[in-house]
A and B are shown apart, each in its own frame.
Chain A
Amino acid sequence: MPPTSPQASGPVVKAVVLEAPDIARALKRMAHEILERNHGAEGVVLVGIRRRGVPLADRLSAEIERIEGVRPPTGALDISFYRDDIGIRTPAEVGRTEIDSDIEGRIVVLVDDVLYTGRTVRAAIDALVDFGRPRAVQLAVLIDRGHRELPIRADFIGRNLPTAHRESVDVRLAETDGLDSVSISEAP
């Protein structure tokens, strides 16, 4: 990814932490961990949190199929209506929730790109239970950057990335951004 020029008013990229092969390796390992924890893919549903959790859930599902020969169903969850900062922030663009498979009694693995304060995951769990009562909900994230504001932790982590509050972690994926990379940037 080209580094941002210092003259630009946007954030300055400090380091590219993961590139495409690193992301692929991390997802492969996470797929193995999901299978190990759940003794296979039976009853597992992968639900991505919009936007970038959705392609990650699809990739994990494809990895699991490569390993186990069974492709777990996937879904997409939009959490806009469950946020706790409605009225504080201007509403972001709302996406569609698509959960076609029954989650009642299943093991739902929520998938997101970055775990930060934990508020997104809190909202996602609220949204999920409106669709049924899963047997268990687990959390898979590509990056855990710390700074939790709620008692939430991930079950499967691609990379722990300790950061400062003023820094931001930018995950780019081929499906949404045209390339795979994870970088840390900081406002000038």
Chain B
Amino acid sequence: MKHLLSIQDLSAGQINTVLKTADSFREVGTRTIKKVPTLRGRTVCNLFFEPSTRTRISFELAAKRLSADVVNFTGDAKSSLSKGESFKDTAQTLQAMGIDAIVVRHASAGAPQRLSGWVEASVINAGDGAHEHPTQALLDLYSIREHFPSFDGLRVGIVGDIVHSRVARSNARALRTMGAEVVLIAPPTFLPPAVDTWGVSVSYDLEAVLPSLDVVYLLRVQRERQNEQLVPSLREYATFWGLDLRRVNRMRPEAVIMHPGPMNRGVEIAAEVADLDRAIITDQVTNGVAVRMSLLYLMLGGLNSDRDRAREAPARRATDPAQLAFEQAMAEVEPALG
């Protein structure tokens, strides 16, 4: 596996490998010394063109716990992007600096895909527009698997702003790959037009569906989208779609509550519901580090990494006449430089 651009890149078998390997990294996270030397000498760049503290810190911790070096590039006002440097220029700069993996978040769907065509490094999609967030889906699968023996026959309800949610897209795909049943629950304005192609069922009635769900996955209501007027008000959303204690009582006793964070307490989730034992939101965060360690290990530890190409590079250079001429010229100049 060279890149992780979409959850569709992974088969059920590959997802199982990522989750199983994450088990071992979860154990590393419980040690006094939470660090292993696995990726010593490798460099991972977090290339974030959209603000995201949680995901960036999770990836940074994952890389550091594997002993990789980490550089962070945030596309803020001070960055070179404001000086007119393009996305491609930035990619080529990172390429020239010998980065082994690039974790990219971008507001445009497909940006990680483009990036993967410009660089030799492995590219991991950390969220691209409303398209995909595959590592979030993997950590959610891991968290679900901690509570249920199998995905087969599991019924997962994803509640909220589906149309803008890359998390919903990636999770629905991943859950279906693993054999779970997905129900999208939202007001009609929050559902994408082509939802019938997702292979999931749809409901507009949270109260009615709640007793049949094993997992209730709440999405963040994106306050920044309120000017689109998809719901009349946050208060109305909380009344009809928010998970409060009264609704929790309608859930199966073993059902769990999940949320990708950050939460709007009092909107999609009542403050007291977020603190229940069955709300496994902090477990999702802990598991996020282990799952990202697993991914970096499997992607950078394999045969197709840059380091192996670098090892082969001297042989390739020797047959390239232009490179030979350049090296010969340098050999003549270097002694003179002392």
Given A78-B24, A82-B38, answer yes or no on A91-B31 (Cβ-Cβ < 8 Å): no
Q: Is B33 an interface residue (CB 8 A)?
A: yes
Q: Is A94 an interface residue (CB 8 A)?
A: yes
User: CA separation between A121 and B308, bound complex, in Å?
Assistant: 25
Chain A residue at smallest Cβ distance from B17: A93
Interface string of B18-40 (1 = CB under 8 A from A): 00110110011001110111110
Whether A82 pairs with B39 at a CB distance below 8 angstroms is: no
Name the A residues within 8 Å of B37 (CB-CB).
81-82, 126
B23, B35, B307: the one contacting A87 at CB < 8 Å is: B307
Q: Is A89 an interface residue (CB 8 A)?
A: yes
Name the B residues within 8 Å of A138 (CB-CB).
none
Whether A94 pairs with B21 at a CB distance below 8 angstroms is: yes
Interface string of A92-114 (1 = CB under 8 A from B): 01111110000000000000000
Q: Is B192 an interface residue (CB 8 A)?
A: no
Q: Is A8 an interface residue (CB 8 A)?
A: no
Please report which residues of chain A, range 92-144, place their CB below 8 angstroms from some CB of chain B when the two chains form the complex. Answer: 93-98, 126-127, 130-131
User: CA separation between A86 and B68, bound complex, in Å?
Assistant: 13
Please report which residues of chain A, range 54-88, place their CB below 8 angstroms from some CB of chain B when the two chains form the complex. Answer: 78, 80-82, 86-88
Interface centre among A81, A93, A126 (most CB of B within 10 A): A81
Chain A residue at smallest Cβ distance from B35: A130
Whether A97 pairs with B39 at a CB distance below 8 angstroms is: no
CB distance from A186 to the nearest CB of B (A): 26
Q: Is B113 an interface residue (CB 8 A)?
A: no
Q: What size tier do the contact residues of chain A reach? A: 20 to 34
Whether B36 pairs with A86 at a CB distance below 8 angstroms is: no
User: CA separation between A96 and B26, bound complex, in Å?
Assistant: 10
Whether A130 pairs with B303 at a CB distance below 8 angstroms is: no
Whether B36 pairs with A130 at a CB distance below 8 angstroms is: yes
What number of A-B contacts does a CB cutoff of 8 Å give? 52
CB distance from A47 to the nearest CB of B (A): 15
Q: Which of B43-51, B208-216, B227-235, B294-302 contacts A (4 or more CB under 8 A)?
A: B294-302
B20, B32, B66, B307: the one contacting A94 at CB < 8 Å is: B20
Name the B residues within 8 Å of A5 (CB-CB).
none
Q: Is B305 an interface residue (CB 8 A)?
A: yes
CB distance from B112 to the nearest CB of A (A): 23
User: CA separation between A130 and B36, bound complex, in Å?
Assistant: 8
Q: Is A9 an interface residue (CB 8 A)?
A: no
Whether A97 pairs with B27 at a CB distance below 8 angstroms is: yes
Interface string of B228-262 (1 = CB under 8 A from A): 00000000000000000000000000000000000
Whether A96 pairs with B36 at a CB distance below 8 angstroms is: no
Given A78-B24, A96-B27, answer yes or no on A90-B302 (Cβ-Cβ < 8 Å): yes
Name the A residues within 8 Å of B28 (CB-CB).
81
Name the B residues within 8 Å of A95 (CB-CB).
24
User: CA separation between A40 and B149, bound complex, in Å?
Assistant: 44
Whether A86 pairs with B38 at a CB distance below 8 angstroms is: yes
User: CA separation between A131 and B66, bound complex, in Å?
Assistant: 16
Name the B residues within 8 Å of A82 (CB-CB).
36-38
Chain A residue at smallest Cβ distance from B28: A81
Whether B308 pairs with A87 at a CB distance below 8 angstroms is: yes
Name the B residues within 8 Å of A98 (CB-CB).
27
Whether B308 pairs with A81 at a CB distance below 8 angstroms is: no
Given A94-B20, A96-B24, answer yes or no on A130-B31 (Cβ-Cβ < 8 Å): yes
Name the A residues within 8 Å of B303 (CB-CB).
87-90
Name the A residues within 8 Å of B27 (CB-CB).
96-98
Whether A86 pairs with B39 at a CB distance below 8 angstroms is: yes
Name the B residues within 8 Å of A130 (CB-CB).
31, 33, 35-36
Name the B residues within 8 Å of A127 (CB-CB).
36
User: CA separation between A46 and B239, bound complex, in Å?
Assistant: 59
Interface centre among B31, B66, B301 (most CB of A within 10 A): B301
Chain B: residues with CB nearer than 8 A to chain A? 20-21, 23-24, 27-28, 31-33, 35-39, 66, 297-298, 300-303, 305, 307-308
Residue pairs across A and B with Cβ atoms less than 8 A apart, 20 shown, are A78-B24, A80-B38, A81-B36, A81-B297, A82-B37, A82-B38, A86-B38, A86-B301, A87-B300, A87-B301, A87-B303, A87-B308, A91-B297, A94-B20, A94-B24, A94-B297, A97-B24, A127-B36, A130-B36, A131-B31
Closest 3 CB pairs of A and B: A81-B36, A81-B38, A91-B301
Chain A: residues with CB nearer than 8 A to chain B? 78, 80-82, 86-91, 93-98, 126-127, 130-131
